[in-house]
Structure 1
């Protein structure tokens, strides 16, 4: 709610919830600053005066450092992108909801790691062409 108090001829004090302001109607001024720098309406573009100046160019675009964004910025009224469209299927047991690495099926045997395969090669001596092969099963 605003309260207006006369402070002389064509001068008023306006009291409001966010403070008090001095208004001088003859000078078109207010201490709040709402009348200062007022822009007057302009006519249609075809009524503008012709100016003999160079065309104004946009500023030079310089890419910012860092990794570029993968997705564009969406408008405020635009819906967000949807989530995943397919569920994950395990290649071992063919069941949805997990992958081969996290599979808990009993018939699944995980692949050997590099350390296990290199250990097998270290236990067998190098073969010569005239020696018979010896197959050892270490599992």
Structure 2
């Protein structure tokens, strides 16, 4: 197999990470940040990235002021969804922190251990948010669901993450000169063809969709012409 299971199969994810996300949206976001910045020198690219990070860190830190929950918003929404799904589960409580949960739509049974924060389905350990089976057990204890989420999703952890800031920089003309040898840019070799602007896509990555060029008339609904050339358009009196 070309890629190890730990990089794309959820059941092989490291439970210490507390993330079940498979997509690479953060890479796509970074690529969209670059945009036209790619044409700048390396110092200009780094300065633009630093400015974007400064703005994002500040906005995300200020966002926590409006929060009333003890966990981040996305984890709270996911938890609410799992709590609603817990209504389809049947519970057996022998004693202590152990529960046997039966999912009625699939008739599958799972053992939940609230003390160890684990469920045999593995969803709770990987994501860090109690899944429907664990939510059914927590409902029986009448405890707060948010207390069983990983600390990675807590408001305090979020604040610590964005409490630091990117150090500000003056314009490069104000930088302190050093005695080291000047660093010259690499020799530019222009290819014969037009320089490539778009990034190379992976083999498994779908091609970018293009907007359809087919014209549809808003009056008659027929393809191939617009309302200006439509024969059924009302004429001016």
TM-score, normalised relative to structure 1:
0.37
Larger Cα-atom Rg: 1
Question: Larger % of strand: which?
Answer: 1
More relative contact order, 1 or 2 (CA 8 Å, 6+ apart): 2
TM-score, normalised relative to structure 2:
0.23
Question: Larger % of helix: which?
Answer: 2
